[in-house]
Amino acid sequence: MKKLLNNKNTRSNLVIYLVVTVFFLVMQGMNMGGMLTSSWKGFLVPICVYISLAVSLNLLVGICGELSLGHAGFMGIGAFAGIVVAALLQDAVALEPLRLFIAMIVGGVLAGAAGFLIGIPVLRLRGDYLAIVTLAFGEILKNIVGNLYVGLDAEGVHVSATSAKFTLLEGGKMILDGPVGATGIKKLATFPMGFVLVLITLFVVLNLVNSKEGRAIKAVRDNRIAAESVGINVTAFRMKAFVVSAFLAGMAGALFGLNYSSMAASKFNFNTSINILVFVVLGGMGNILGSVISATVLYVLPEALRSLEDYRMILYAVVLILVMLFTWSPRVKEFVSVVTDKISGIFKKKEVETNG
Amino acid sequence: MQILQYLINGISIGAVYAIIALGYTMVYGIAKMLNFAHGDIIMVGAYISFCVTNYLGLPAFVSVIAAMAVCTLLGILIEKLAYMPLRGTPSLAVLITAIGVSYFLQNGAQLIWGSAPKNFASIVPLKPVFLAGGELVITGEVIVTILASVLIMVGLTLFTTKTKIGKAMRAVSEDRAAAQLMGISVNNTISMTFAIGSALAAIAGVLLCSTVPTLQPTTGAMPGIRAFTAAVFGGIGSIPGAMLGGILLGIIETFSKAFISTQFSDAIVFSVLIIILLVKPAGLLGKQIQEKV
Amino acid sequence: MKKFTALMLAMLMVMSLLAGCGSSKPAADASTIKIGMSGPLTGGAAVYGKAVEAGMKIAVEEINAKGGLKIEFQSQDDEHDGEKALNAYNNLKDWGMQFFAGAVTTAPCLSIAPTAVEDNIFMMTPSGSSDKIPMTGNNIFQMCFTDPNQGASAAELVAELNMAQNIGIIFDNSDDYSKGLMNGFKTKAAELGLNIVCETNFTADNKTDLSTQVTQCKDAGCDFVFLPFYATEASQVLTQAAKIGYEPTFFGCDGMDGVLTIEGFDKSLAEGLVLMTPFNPDAPETQDFVSKYQAMMNGETPNQFAADGYDVIYAIYDACVAAGVDGTTAPSDACEMLKTYFATNEFSGLTGSGMTWDEQGMISKIPAAVVIENGKYVALG
Amino acid sequence: MADYPRKVIQVPTYNLFREQDAGKQPVLDVRNLGIDFGGLTAVDSFNITLGPTEISGLIGPNGAGKTTIFNLLTGVYQPTRGSVLVNGIDIKGMPVHKVNKLGIARTFQNIRLFSEMTALDNVKVGMHNEIRCSFLASLLRLPSYYRAEAAANMKAMELLDFMGLADVADQKAGSLPYGVQRRLEIVRALATNPSVILLDEPAAGMNPSETTELMHQIRRIRDTFHIAIFLIEHDMNLVMNVCEAIAVVNYGKIIAKGTPEEIRSNPAVIEAYLGKEDND
């Protein structure tokens, strides 16, 4: 009995790892074999990044039950931290994957630290108020990150919050240029590293969910008062989930930042947070495999619709609304089942007729 | 004198936020959903008003009425088609749908009216008032916006406390199931709320664009988020709270731009919001509800 | 929910299949060259992308009507976002693009340029004006002015015509274009001894309300305000200033072009506005283009974005004809041939005559400034 | 407030300790407890002591303040006056989860299970503070994680079995029948290793045979785990049969304390409460 239960969890986890690995191997194989189009080659890393973001946000929204609208803020911290670290280590660490990995870890740690600092005040609130405060923090983070000036020259690293007195020595390199962001980034991100990121994310989130911490987090979601009454420190566990989620978002952000040659803080705005949230909700709350798949599909979908030109985004909007109605609305679901019954009824009738 | 001028500017933009926030608060209070498409209804309202005055050549007040009519219909339509089927589902599902609606309205507006920004000619015929030898200017828009926001606030308060429909709205907002048992049609009441909220959005759109003249499909997005912040600031669900929140937000935003930093004004505005929520978790005038054990 | 996941999984499989199939490119046709463009066709910056796209389409139609070498043209939406821009560029590459006539705005240009350098695809941006863009590589060309250069010539002009006592600057701190112009202007102004008394800015997120910035300039007593940003925000500044009865000399750059054609904008507010623009829709030599554009875009008057787009297509076309590039030339070979061509040849179009490019792909053309009188551009100086 | 009992009631001084508890420290010692909600006194001068293995009942008409008292004892509400000592430690100012760690567990009048989780997981959540396995160990799936989980599984299954719930271990808590959910809540409370357990209307919604079984189970809990039980219940049959001592509250105040026999015959209680309820 107990074994069976364990098996069930392990089995569903294995399915997730399997799907991800197969996807990676197929894509990597096609890539090496030159069978991928330029577009798809370009999608590979962002897909990994968005999977990781969606899964980490799912930990917060689906499993912990806290609506966060500021996930992109952590992504942004990770991205810029990663860009700065990678630039500083340009000469110190020659091996590119290692430099990238260090950048991702630093990005994750900084985002996690920001998550902790923000968590102290924020996690006193609940529900929609928590949502608005995370939104506010996301905007604050973007605003602050977007006004940082970081430069490297012979003297060392210079950091400032205004451009007014920011000057570098001759031959110095501007790493972050305020709202304009980072330009001339050395692209380090690779698809295999994206795959590693997804594996790390899945490993952390799945292991967390199926442990005593995960049970406590789910208990807090299901019934906060009861969880307290059995000795669970609710704030501590919301905090753990928040920090882990921010850490993973930071790692993903670092990979994202190092996948492009220029990156502006405005990328990490409310809209990006919302997009990640859409991945989570459409994939199913608390459903990790759902997040993985919906992040992939919904990232590619608007790109696949490019031939529609002006009607592309409006169609995306319509698809979004319809999917929400079809997956959530009890009435629409009922209607669909009636229609499908009727259709299958017609087919059955025909079958009977042809048989008879 | 300088500080007074900034105060006036702040109150002026704050009053616009207040009108938008009133719509947000109404919808949130009664339908219990964050309607992120509210900002885009504002944009539609402004476009309608723009078209009526510029293409049909009709007077300003007609354009406002037309905008209100169209937005009311639009609000009801959106509610019936997109939100009503999702009643009773988790609020997150409705939130995502609202975002879909927001994308739809923005991109639809671009298809209809094009992406080129339009310059919205102010509908306010009043001349500016110059005080203190021209150092202090109060524009007609400021006067009209502030008057309108106060009138709307008073009107809404009277409406929700004195009329039958208004009382029904409050009943639905307090306890939907109980209201239904009392014979109140929850669906009709919520539709009515959307109608009123959207009509307010139309007014807000016209006044917003009279104050800040650029009109394009994304015009409503940022003020929408600001106004939402204002509504939470004042205590979401509270009518005077939305008014207070809007005005305060406008003043804080203007002052931080003028005296602290234009770059960090966003960070400052949102930090104040967070501090307020930590001190008063339900906003300035919101009701704190204790969970029953 | 289960069903939905299954559905998604199925869609994913179909898409991965498509991923492989799309790579078989149709056989190239010698008589037709393929030019791709990306720009913001939706979202807040769509106005620029749409204008460039229309300008380019006009040029393509004209060329294709002429006979001889034809152009196949495709435009893609980048939503003014670096990430989407790279996707758009990759999509165009899959389509078989030989020349990249984009991107329209600076951030997407900076995102695409290093990849274009890697691919060795000839890239000529109509309106991405940061000096960082051509610096990325020697196959990246620019049709518009480089920001610091334009800012500097603006300062020179102000000094030359003695236009200002106390200068105020409002700029968009989140925009590379605006900051580039501002820095160029400031540096030159300091050299020339111009008196800057007020410097204030806004960012993309809080540009809905610019009344504070206008008031700041007024309070500082500026009689001249430099506005290095686009027409949309400029129209706001002008309206705001008129509301509070503030009447300094406003001075804009090429992004300001189009201010007169903003629908609903009270043109009288722009009287006396000085702007630097390479394109004058009121000049006789541009009338043919203007009327075609108006026919295409519901009567809108073209601005310099459209004209830049038009010129980029003609520049690439002229170079192809002269260098003997056709539809079968590999993009990388075509790139080398065009680089060689532009190193020695000049181009004349709507936005200037005798334009030349240095080996970095930076343009040199004569700056022109106009003043608005009676709702028309009148050449200044 | 009109029918507030004006009569001065003689509260019998009865030693609530069972014989075997004599001389031991009470697990629960409540002194002069009171709480006001915005000027309205909900509970006042509430005193009670519970011996380490005692079963006591708290009864009173609806709205008498019984659940409020439970909320005060578990730290959900902070009292306006008085003190609560759990195993001799004052819970003043402590958050709910710390009060639980002192040894007080509870069930809820309106069931509060973790409805999306299995019955087994519900119990394992209860064992949260007992499972010794670090965050890192469970993240990295170190051997200590597997050891701790296996031990937890075993104990949780034993506890479920104890209340006859082993069969439903894998079912979602929210989908279980009402009576089963009530018992599961008791198991979850037991899983926290309490020294006193507060049951808020454990028999509500149960049929007579389930109630009878519950009575046995309550005694068995005390006899097996050697803990004190304090319960609120409207089912007089259960209260009178199970409890060794009973306190009666009305309008937030104790109006009587004593053995079931004493309570049954107390005129004040009959007037305030039993008189109306005796019909069933």
Q: How many CA atoms lie within 13 A of B157 on its CB side?
A: 12
Fold of A2-146+181-304: ABC transporter involved in vitamin B12 uptake, BtuC (1.10.3470)
Name the residue of chain B whose CA is nearest to C209's CA: B212
| CATH code for position C159 | 3.40.50.2300
Beta strands D40-50 and D228-232, pairing class: unpaired
Q: Which of B54, B102, B115 to mutate: most C Cβ within 10 Å?
A: B115
Same fold, D12-103+194-280 and D112-193: yes
Q: For chain D, how many residues are written?
A: 280
Verify whether the Cβ–Cβ distance C266 to B216 is below 8 Å.
no
pLDDT above 70 covers what percent of chain C? 92
pLDDT band at A1 (very low <50, low <70, confident <90, very high): very low
Q: What does the mean pLDDT of chain B come to?
A: 87
C160 and C111 in a common domain? no
Tens of pLDDT, residues C23-76 = 445 557 888 999 999 999 887 788 889 999 999 999 999 999 998 899 999 999
Per the CB < 8 A criterion, the answer to whether C129 and C363 are in contact is no
B25 versus C59: the higher-pLDDT residue is: C59
Q: What is the pLDDT of residue C27?
A: 59
For C199-207, what is the mean pLDDT?
Answer: 79
Listed in sequence order, the residues at least 6 apart from A282 whose beta carbon sits closer than 8 Å to its beta carbon are A290, A294, A298, A320, A323, A324, A327, B96, C4
The answer to whether the Cα torsion of D112, D114, D118, D124 is positive or negative is negative
C269 and C325 in a common domain? no
Q: What range does the domain containing C233 cover?
A: 148-277
Select the highest-mean-pLDDT range: A105-109, B220-224, B273-277, D84-88.
Answer: A105-109
Per the CB < 8 A criterion, the answer to whether B258 and A106 are in contact is no
At D15 the three-state DSSP class reads coil
* Token pair listed for B39: 């900002």
CA distance linking residue B183 with residue B198, whole number of Å: 26
* Among candidates A4, A207, A228 on the partner chain, residue whose Cβ is nearest the Cβ of D139: A207
Tens of pLDDT, residues A254-299 = 999 999 998 988 889 888 998 999 999 888 888 999 999 999 998 9
* Among candidates A37, A293, A323 on the partner chain, residue whose Cβ is nearest the Cβ of C5: A293
CA distance linking residue D126 with residue D193, whole number of Å: 9
Per the CB < 8 A criterion, the answer to whether C367 and C257 are in contact is no
Cβ-Cβ contacts under 8 Å between B and D: the total is 4
At residue C120, does pLDDT exceed 90? yes
Domain count across chain C: 2
Per the CB < 8 A criterion, the answer to whether B119 and B214 are in contact is yes
Partners of D71 on chain B (C-beta within 8 Å) are 293
Domain borders along chain B are 2-279
Verify whether the Cβ–Cβ distance A211 to D96 is below 8 Å.
no
Determine the Cα angle at C306 with ends C300 and C308, to 5°: 160
Per the CB < 8 A criterion, the answer to whether C280 and C304 are in contact is no
- Give all chains having 3 or more CB-to-CB distances under 8 Å with chain A: B, C, D
Tens of pLDDT, residues D218-267 = 999 998 999 999 999 988 889 998 998 899 988 888 888 888 888 888 88
Partners of B130 on chain C (C-beta within 8 Å) are 245
| Domain membership flag for residue C271 | yes
Q: What does the mean pLDDT of chain C come to?
A: 87
* Token pair listed for B276: 């307020």
Distances (CA, A) of C84 to B187, C40, C108, C121, C200: 41, 10, 8, 19, 31
Q: Which amino acid is at A262?
A: S
Chain A: closest CA distance from residue B8 (Å): 25
Name the residue of chain D whose CA is nearest to B290's CA: D77
* Token pair listed for A152: 């490297």
CA distance linking residue B109 with residue B70, whole number of Å: 14
D204 versus B137: the higher-pLDDT residue is: D204
C8 versus A291: the higher-pLDDT residue is: A291
Q: What is the pLDDT of residue A49?
A: 97
Q: What is the pLDDT of residue D5?
A: 37
Q: Touching check for B85 and chain A: CB below 8 Å?
A: yes
DSSP output for D128-156? TTT----HHHHHTT-HHHHHHHHHHHHHH
Verify whether the Cβ–Cβ distance D128 to A215 is below 8 Å.
yes
Does domain B2-279 correspond to CATH entry 1.10.3470? Answer: yes
Tens of pLDDT, residues A64-101 = 988 888 999 999 999 999 999 999 998 888 899 999 99
Tens of pLDDT, residues A236-246 = 899 999 999 99
Chain A: closest CA distance from residue B232 (Å): 8
Q: What is the pLDDT of residue A177?
A: 81
pLDDT band at B140 (very low <50, low <70, confident <90, very high): confident
* Token pair listed for A225: 């008062």
Tell me what ipTM this predicted complex has. Answer: 0.86
Instruction: Please give the CATH architecture assigned to the domain spanning D12-103+194-280.
Output: 3-Layer(aba) Sandwich (3.40)
Domain borders along chain D are 12-103+194-280, 112-193
Q: Which amino acid is at C162?
A: N
- CB atoms under 10 Å from CB of B21, counted, come to 37
DSSP state of D76: S
CA distance linking residue D172 with residue D135, whole number of Å: 26
Tens of pLDDT, residues C249-263 = 999 988 888 888 787
pLDDT above 90 covers what percent of chain A? 43
Q: What is the pLDDT of residue D2?
A: 37
DSSP output for A270-312? HHHHHHHHHHHHHH-TT-HHHHHHHHHHHHHHHHHTGGGGGGH
Verify whether the Cβ–Cβ distance D125 to A219 is below 8 Å.
yes
Tens of pLDDT, residues A336-351 = 778 878 777 776 665 5
C291 and C251 in a common domain? no
What distance, in Å, lies between the first and last C-alpha atoms of chain B? Answer: 55
Residue C73: strand pairing partners: C35
Tens of pLDDT, residues C304-341 = 899 999 999 999 999 999 999 999 999 999 999 999 99
Q: What is the pLDDT of residue D72?
A: 93
Instruction: Please give the CATH architecture assigned to the domain spanning D112-193.
Output: 3-Layer(aba) Sandwich (3.40)
Per the CB < 8 A criterion, the answer to whether A263 and A67 are in contact is no
Name the residue of chain C whose CA is nearest to A183's CA: C110
* Token pair listed for B197: 């909220």
Q: What is the pLDDT of residue D138?
A: 86
Lowest mean pLDDT among A321-325, C7-11, C297-301, D243-247: C7-11
Name the residue of chain A whose CA is nearest to C50's CA: A310
* Tens place of pLDDT per residue across chain D (280 aa): 333 333 333 333 334 445 566 667 888 889 899 999 888 888 988 988 888 888 999 998 888 889 999 999 999 999 999 999 998 899 998 999 999 999 999 999 999 999 989 999 999 999 998 888 888 888 888 899 999 999 999 999 999 999 999 999 999 999 999 889 999 999 999 999 999 999 999 998 888 888 999 999 999 999 899 999 999 998 888 999 899 889 998 888 888 888 888 888 888 887 776 555 444 4
CA distance linking residue C52 with residue A315, whole number of Å: 24
Verify whether the Cβ–Cβ distance C173 to A179 is below 8 Å.
yes
C360 and C293 in a common domain? yes
Verify whether the Cβ–Cβ distance A321 to B270 is below 8 Å.
no
Q: Which of A55, A53, A52 is nearest to A71 (CA)?
A: A53
Q: What is the pLDDT of residue D22?
A: 66
Lowest mean pLDDT among A154-168, A272-286, B252-266, C337-351: A154-168
